[in-house]
Each structure stands twice: as structure tokens, then as C-alpha cells.
Chain A
Amino acid sequence: MLIKGNIALSENGFVFNPSTGDSFTLNNIGKEVLMLIKEGKNISQITDLLLGKYDVDKISLERYLSDFVNDLSVNNLLEE
């Protein structure tokens, strides 16, 4: 899973796609997940990292991460 190379992500969670002109905002956890994806982490690594940090159970986290990745894909932010 890779974020498209030209996607700009700012420190305060603002995302810009220069090829479509679309812009997005992320909440704090969305920003953290997107940065981890950018760093090349896979979903299982991200799950482990977040489980250690946040008060959430594994099943819920996996469900919300898969939902979020689906949102990224629907919004054309992931490489095919």
C-alpha cells in the first residue's frame, strides 16, 4: 500500500493532491496513520503501533483502519 508520490501532507493534517486539485483535512489519528503509510509501514505494523499508544481494542482498530484505507482509495490518494 503506497500513497501517491505527489500527494502533499502538511503537519497540521492538510492533504493536497496536485494532479486533481482536491484538498482534504485529516483528524489527528488520520494524520498519524497517513504519515505511517508514507513512511512505508504496512497495516499490521500500524495496528501494532496504535494499539500500544491508544485506548482501543484490536478488532475495532482493524475495522476503523480498513475503513480509513478505503476512504483513501475512494479519494484517489493510493497508488493502484
Chain B
Amino acid sequence: MSKLMFERPTITRLNPGVPSKHGVGTVVAPLPFIDGVKVDDLLDKYGSPLYVFSERTIRKGMEDIKRAFNLRYQKVQMAWSYKTNYLDSICRIFHQEGSWAEVVSGFEYDKAIGNGVKGENIIFNGPGKSINDLEKAVRNGSFIHIDHIDELFMLSDVCQRKNIEARVAVRVNMDIGIYPKWDRFGLNYENGEAWDAINRIMMNPKLKLMGLHTHIGTYIMSVDAYRVAATKLADLTYNIAQKFDHHISYIDMGGGFASKNTLRGAYLSGEDTTPSFDEYAEAITSAIINSQIKPDKLPTLILETGRALIDNAGYIAGSVLANKHLSDGHRATIVDVGVNLLFTSFWYDHKIHPVSIHSGLVEETTIFGPLCMNIDVIRPSLMFPALKRGDRFVITRTGAYNNTQWLQFITTRPNVVLIDQNREVHVIRRAETLENISANEVIPEYLG
């Protein structure tokens, strides 16, 4: 006779304090499959921990956002935000779905070219473009989004010296009634800096003003903030047409749409509070359509949505390394996923699911990563079932920023796999080795 599944014995004190206003207990559902593939099989084959991406979820997200915007506005162009996730396979899925590339460095620019994106379909943002970056982008016909006046002069100088013509847009920052005000990128709307830059560009024969761009912040929960921003860019568009009889090709509303992750310290779950693509689309498109811009001159609307499109498609699967009690009796579980792999645990209360079914009873637990560093906390406190050493779990909505801001710290980074639409699993980034990490080190002869 086979033996019964074992769960470590637990006792949990019941605290008769303020009841949950929602009146329901904590339910931690197991997650044994990702896109129909057994998590246990994935971990057995590719090791623990493991990054997993769902191609189906990525394509579904693109379908949803395109539907929401195309329903309301006739010319919409997506541009994949490379810094959110620049694993080449991930980028290529977005490009197959029709996205251009939105890059913020020469490194990302070269990655986009390597992924087969035409230069004229690359948007080059960011405050740190080098002269060489600028010249390359101009020659390729990419859209250069000017971040500051120094860059405008630098670009003008490059174009004069090389006798080339640049397609440019102005990144505009503005007060949209929310905190924090993102004024470190771009040129300001209210103090006239943006208008000044626009005038200089319009009078420079080497610079062709193609568009206006703003990026109002990150994880923006207020759709009205987008309405205000789109209204201000539409006003600038109208003013350019009035003064120069020049009709720009596009308005780029940047990114910043929230994913369904829950921000640390938020009272309500992101699943309940995050606006839908339809709500964002309604705010942005109605502001542009209702502006003074003539209907036949309406510019293309570009969106650089990153987080909201890739967060939901990413998972990290891992294993429990140990359980312990802290000095006050609080339960702690140590897992093999640390902040080196899950940078976003500094921002989010990530959901963690056991892979196998459990008794349903949960206890207050702190989840620590495996790094020998005090900051390595995945969840300071959550209600979690009594997992034991070797038990497996899945952390959800990890697709944004964790494969770009990850740290090669203390240990190497694990395999990344993609589950395609036919449930085939592909390694899209091999686990690092010590040799990979040491390859660029040079030891002076006297230390040899």
C-alpha cells in the first residue's frame, strides 16, 4: 500500500483581532502546471530555480491591448520596451506581433538590430545616448527622442558635421496632477522648455520633427493622468501645426500601465485595483480625438507598454531549502530564489503558490532567499502553507524587469525557458557557469 503524502505538523494561534473586511480566509491555491506543462517536470529537467515564460500569455496580452486601442483609434503602433525584458526570444515574440523596438542605450539598440528590427522601426529614448549611438541611429533612420537641450545641440552638431538628417521627437515632461512628478526625463511643458526645443528643431534644416513623446511614470494607477498628458501633447501638436503648418506623424504616450501585481504596502490586491487596457485606451484616445487636431491630421498613437504586457507571462519556480523559527517564534522559510533573481520583490508583494496540494492551513511566514545578505527577503510576511525542505513553489507575475535588472551576485543565474503555444519547452537562456562569469576578468601577471 502506498504511503500518504506528508505535510509537516503545524499549530497556528488564532488572533481574535479586527476581522478581515472581506470576510474570507487566505486561500493559497497550488499551481502544479504552467500552460499545461507540469512544474515538477520543468524543475526536474532544467533545475531549480527556473525562470519560465508563457508565449501564449504574451500573445494574449498583445491581442488584448491592440483590441482595446484599435477599437477606439485608427492608427496605433506598439513599441516593445527593451529594458523591461530584452531576452531575444521574448523581444522576437513582440516583434512578430507587430511591435517596433523602444530602446534606451546603444547596447539595446544593437540588440534590436540583431533581432531583425529595421532601423526606421526603432525608437531611441533615454538621457545617455553617445555621439556614436546618435550617428548610427540617424543613419538608420531611427526616431531619436530628445531628452535634454544638450542632446539637441549634440545631435545638431553630428548632423551638421556628417551632413545627415535626423528624424526626431521631443520627450516632454509635465505636471499631470499625480505624485511623484517625473521631471528628470525630457523637457518641461509648463515652463516652456519643450516649446523652446520644438522651435529650435523646426528651424534646424538637419532635424525633422516627427513626433512628441511623454512617459508620465511607472505603475500608474490613474487613467486620468494619461488623459491630462495626452491632452497636453495634443495641444502642442496643434500649436506646431498652427505656427509651422507642420503635422507631426505620431504622439508617443510611453509606458507606465500597471500590471496586476500588488505593490508592497498596498491594502488591496493589484488584481482588483489595476485599470484595464480599455480604461487606459479610453482616457488617451478620447483626449486626442477631442483635441483641436483636425481629424485628417490625427497622428499615429505609439505605446511603449512593457510591464503590463510581460509581467503576467513570467514565473519563477523554485524549491524550499529550510524552515526555521526567528527569535520571536515567527516562522521563516528559506527558498532558492533570492532578490538576485527577483529584483521586483523590492516593489511587489509577489504571489507564491505551492506546486503540490496542501491541507489548506496556512501560517504567517517570512520568505527569505538563499543569499547571505540581510536584504534578501522575498516576502516579509504572508500566509503560507507548511512547506518542507524540497517542496516546490511558483512565484507568479515576474516577467518584467527581472531578466534585465537581475544581479549576478554571490551565485550564477539559472536557466530561462519558454513554453510555446504547442506546450513545447525551449531553453531561451542557458544557466550561467563560473567560466561565463570569469571570462572577462584579467589577472595581472604578478598575481598569476
Contact = CB atoms under 8 A, between A and B. Distances in A.
A21 B70 CA distance: 61
A23 B11 CA distance: 10
Contacts of A22: 13-14
A68 B325 contact: no
B325 A29 contact: no
B11 A29 contact: no
A42 interface: no
Nearest to A69: B9
Contact of B7 (A24, A25, A28, A65): A28
Interface string B6-18: 1111111110100
B9 A68 contact: yes
Interface SS of chain A: helix
Contacts of A19: none
Interface residues of B, number: 22
A60 interface: yes
B13 A75 contact: yes
A71 interface: yes
A29 B329 CA distance: 20
Nearest to A28: B359
Contacts of B8: 29, 64, 67-68
A54 B388 CA distance: 14
Contacts of B386: 27
B10 A27 contact: yes
B315 to A, nearest CB: 27
A75 B11 CA distance: 9
A24 B4 contact: no
Interface of A: 15, 22-30, 32-34, 50, 53-56, 60-61, 64-65, 67-68, 70-72, 74-75, 77
A-B pairs with lowest CB-CB distance, top 7: A30-B9, A56-B6, A54-B6, A55-B3, A64-B8, A27-B361, A68-B9
Given A27-B9, A32-B9, A64-B8, 13 more contacts: A23-B13, A25-B11, A25-B12, A26-B10, A28-B7, A29-B6, A53-B4, A55-B6, A56-B6, A68-B10, A68-B11, A71-B329, A75-B13
10 contacts: A23-B14, A25-B12, A27-B361, A29-B9, A30-B10, A34-B11, A54-B3, A55-B2, A55-B3, A56-B6
